[in-house]
Structure 1
Amino acid sequence: MRASAFLYPWDVVGDPHAARRIARLGVRQVTLASAYHSTRALTPRHPRHRIVTAEHAAVLYPPDRARWAGRTLRPYEQSWVPGPDPYGEAAAALADEGLEVHSWVVLAHNSRLGAEHPDTSVRNVYGDRYPWAPCIARPEVREYAVTLAAEAAVRSGTSGTELESCGWYGLAHLHAHDKTAGVRLGGAGQYLMSLCFCAVCREGYAAAGADPDELRAAVVRALAPLWSGEPGPGPGDRAGEWAEVEERLGTDLAAATRAWRGRMADDFQRGAVAAVREAAGPEFRVLLHADPAVHRCGANAGTDPSSLLAHADGAVLPCTGPPAERTAVLAPFAAQATERTTLAANFTVVTGMGGSPATLAVDAAHARVLGATELRLYHAGLASNADLDMVESILA
């Protein structure tokens, strides 16, 4: 199975040995961040630093001034990696070692955008804003994100892209000093807390057959037992999560939220893929980070497999969990796949982040049986030397 490792440009820029070290792992491809959210990242082998703090969401290349002229929403430029084009510099170094480079583009996850343009954010049932989560139902957000997708994906020396957060983002977010785990929400509670009630979404619910005020009251009622101490369920199967949403909210209201949000996510994904193809041509491979449960939010945005595979070349799917979880993620996509479909099983290989590089061979074999055609390894820049040695021995 073809394997690709995720990397940040700062893992390569300034380290003359980084590209060769990645090539020695045995991967054929690198998925390199070109537009990314804020983060604090360890760089265990870099000769000049050990920590990189990306203070806000930014593009890691020089954006096209003409493309963004006159637009209110535009990408932010980075200042934490030296040089005018860290992505381009890293991509060139990796290509010199014989590695194929695909861009890694984060779309609907941008805290600075929400801080500077509050109206663009998801607003929950209580009126709280999620500044990290742009509301993809808003036309100005979709226009911005689709334009960003095309620019950040199609960089020089790049032969494909992987679009992350290409759908709804919600409550779940790795935030600084996070204090949101005091109530066990479960999958259903996460969904209810992720429903947006901005003006655009209220109109959308109405168009889908749900009175927005009635819906809002129903969501508040559905969440009330959790705040009162009712034990919420733990992580469950995707169908069970949705069944609980219907039980708490009512079948008709739940269906209306799903219809509206599903249509907006599908429009966004189709628009992003079309924009990338227009900029790059038909041979440029476009994959989406996804989850087959359409109600789920986040980096792996919930999406209907048949819809996604009708316009994208495939999906990158989270597979680090136990075998049953892996089956639940891969099987729905494999059922819709053709011989041209790429299904990349994404495994965390950083032990300190919950990964298990020692079991990669067994886990990858299981994923292949389930229909995976490629591997993704998260993350070659963050992993320890011991983790990378294990990956190299397995890939060899």
Structure 2
Amino acid sequence: MKASAFVYPWDVNGDPAAPGRIAALGVEQVTLAAAYHSTRALTPRHPRHRIVTAEHAAVLYPAGDRWEGRALRPYPAGDWAPGDAFGEAADALADAGLEVHTWVVLAHNSRLGAERPDTSVVNAYGDRYPWAPCIAQPATRAYLVDLAAEAAVRPGARGTELESLGWYGLQHLHAHDKTGGVGLGDAGQYLMALCFCPACREGYGRQGGLDADALAAAVRAALTPVWQGVPSDGGWAGVEKLLGETIANATRAWREETARTLQETAVAAVRSAAAEGFQVLLHADPVSYHVGANPGVDPAHILSVADGVVVPCAGGPGPLTPFAERRAEGAVLAANFTVVSGMGGSPYTLAADAALARERGATELRLYHAGLASDGDLSVVREALAGR
């Protein structure tokens, strides 16, 4: 199976040995960040630094003229990725014989939410999620579609992987996070992800005839026992039990249509901007009401829209099956494994994990993350890939 390693530009730029080291892992491709959220990252082998602090979501290349005069526009990176950091890294990686694909993070932007709070998801209590732009708002949708088209189709890239192209919810790593005190469960997480910004309030009424104020009250009432420590049932049945079947399904219909149409439009925009043969993949979860960096999708639908999906498999290959059952000839089904031991990954089981993923229908591997992993982790990865 073809394998690709995730990489940041700052892992490569300023480190002449990095491209060869990544190629020596045995990967054929790199998935290189072109638009990324804020982060603090280790660079354990870089000759000039050990920690990179990307202070806000940014494009890692010079933004184009399409943004002139627009209220919503991408932010330039600071000194963590100056100039055309993506282009510099892409050239170096290509010179090492690696195929470069862009890694584009979309509906995940804390600076946008801080400076433009009206763009954020608002929960049933009125709390805003500044990291989560609401994908129902027309201006936000237009921004995300144009960002996808520009950031995906960078010079030299042969394809793209679009992350966070869908709803984001409460699940979000944050500085000094203190949100784990109550186990919300799958159902509670869904209810806390429901948005009540003006666009969504109108959408609930148009899609399912729901009064937004009554819906918010119902969500708060449904969550009362959860806050008291009563576990919620798992799966969609748990949501229906808390909120009621009719109301729950009306909210789901609105949210799924909103995400589906955004994904269709963004993929079409990327293809319009790209040369023939450019590959478009989405990071995705096969449970359509899930939210986050791997947003929930309907497997049959998304495989009719994109060239394939990248599926998180850190907890096992189970999420591959719904996609494999609906995969058409030529579609990419990439199993994504964390290979950084310090982040809960398991490089020592990569060979066995990859074999099981292939049995479940995976056609490619994704390795998170070549820049963050220790030398020991990378050595194990190299051995595992050599045995493919």
Q: Which moved more, 1:105-114 or 1:219-228?
A: 219-228
Q: Which moved more, 1:333-342 or 1:32-41?
A: 333-342
**What SS does the aligned partner of 2:284 have?**
strand
**What SS does the aligned partner of 1:167 have?**
coil
Letter in 1 for 2:337: F
Match of 2:380 among 390, 393, 396: 390
**What SS does the aligned partner of 2:277 have?**
coil
Structure 1 residue 40 corresponds to structure 2 residue 40:
yes
Q: Structure 2: which 5+ runs fail to align?
A: none
CA distance in 2, matches of 1:40, 1:81: 10
Give 1:361-380 correspondences, 5 Å limit: 361-380=351-370
Q: TM-score, normalised by structure 1?
A: 0.96
**Aligned counterpart, 1:104:** 103
Q: What is the CA-CA distance between 1:18 and the residue it aligns to? A: 0.2
Letter in 1 for 2:284: A
CA distance in 2, matches of 1:267, 1:16: 43
**Aligned counterpart, 1:173:** 172
CA distance in 1, matches of 2:361, 2:58: 34
**Aligned counterpart, 2:204:** 205
Letter in 1 for 2:191: L
CA distance in 2, matches of 1:83, 1:58: 11
**Aligned counterpart, 1:259:** 253
Q: What is the CA-CA distance between 1:83 and the residue it aligns to? A: 4.2
**Aligned counterpart, 2:240:** 246
Give 1:326-341 correspondences, 5 Å limit: 326-327=317-318, 329-341=319-331
Q: Which moved more, 1:301-310 or 1:212-221?
A: 212-221
**Aligned counterpart, 1:292:** 286
Structure 1 residue 271 corresponds to structure 2 residue 265:
yes
**What SS does the aligned partner of 1:387 have?**
helix
Q: What is the CA-CA distance between 1:108 and the residue it aligns to? A: 0.2
Q: What is the CA-CA distance between 1:310 and the residue it aligns to? A: 1.0
Distance 1:229 1:81, change over 3 A: closer
**Aligned counterpart, 2:151:** 152
Contact persistence 2:4–2:366 (CA under 8 A): yes
Aligned residues: 385
Q: What is the CA-CA distance between 1:282 and the residue it aligns to? A: 3.5
CA distance in 2, matches of 1:177, 1:370: 38
CA distance in 2, matches of 1:162, 1:229: 38
CA distance in 2, matches of 1:57, 1:264: 23
Listed one character per residue, the Cα deviations across residues 58-94 of structure 1 (whole Å, up to 9, x for unaligned) are 0000001x21011100000001235411100000000
**What SS does the aligned partner of 1:292 have?**
coil
CA distance in 2, matches of 1:303, 1:45: 37
Letter in 2 for 1:275: A
Listed one character per residue, the Cα deviations across residues 185-213 of structure 1 (whole Å, up to 9, x for unaligned) are 01111110010011110111111222222
* Percent identity for Structure 1 against Structure 2: 68
Contact persistence 1:122–1:129 (CA under 8 A): yes
Letter in 2 for 1:337: R
Contact persistence 2:163–2:293 (CA under 8 A): yes
Match of 2:304 among 287, 292, 310: 310
Contact persistence 1:114–1:133 (CA under 8 A): yes
Contact persistence 2:34–2:103 (CA under 8 A): yes
CA distance in 2, matches of 1:283, 1:82: 29
Contact persistence 2:334–2:363 (CA under 8 A): yes
Q: What is the CA-CA distance between 1:229 and the residue it aligns to? A: 2.4
Letter in 1 for 2:26: G
**Aligned counterpart, 1:115:** 114
Letter in 1 for 2:299: P
CA distance in 2, matches of 1:75, 1:339: 36
Regions of 4+ moved over 2 Å: 80-83
Listed one character per residue, the Cα deviations across residues 22-62 of structure 1 (whole Å, up to 9, x for unaligned) are 00000000000000000000000000000000000000000
**Aligned counterpart, 1:124:** 123
Q: Which moved more, 1:344-353 or 1:200-209?
A: 200-209
Structure 1 residue 24 corresponds to structure 2 residue 24:
yes
Match of 1:346 among 336, 349, 363: 336
**What SS does the aligned partner of 1:301 have?**
coil
**Aligned counterpart, 2:69:** 70
Listed one character per residue, the Cα deviations across residues 221-250 of structure 1 (whole Å, up to 9, x for unaligned) are 1100011222356xxxxxx42110011100
**What SS does the aligned partner of 1:53 have?**
strand
**What SS does the aligned partner of 1:382 have?**
coil
**Aligned counterpart, 1:359:** 349
Contact persistence 2:62–2:84 (CA under 8 A): yes
Q: What is the CA-CA distance between 1:132 and the residue it aligns to? A: 0.3
Q: Structure 1: which 5+ runs fail to align?
A: 234-239
**Aligned counterpart, 1:136:** 135
**What SS does the aligned partner of 2:273 have?**
helix
**Aligned counterpart, 1:237:** none
CA distance in 1, matches of 2:92, 2:152: 18
CA distance in 1, matches of 2:298, 2:276: 23
**Aligned counterpart, 1:49:** 49
Contact persistence 2:232–2:238 (CA under 8 A): no
Letter in 2 for 1:260: W
CA distance in 2, matches of 1:249, 1:232: 11
**What SS does the aligned partner of 2:73 have?**
coil
CA distance in 2, matches of 1:127, 1:354: 34
Q: What is the CA-CA distance between 1:214 and the residue it aligns to? A: 2.1
Q: TM-score, normalised by structure 2?
A: 0.98
Distance 1:58 1:83, change over 3 A: closer
**What SS does the aligned partner of 2:74 have?**
coil
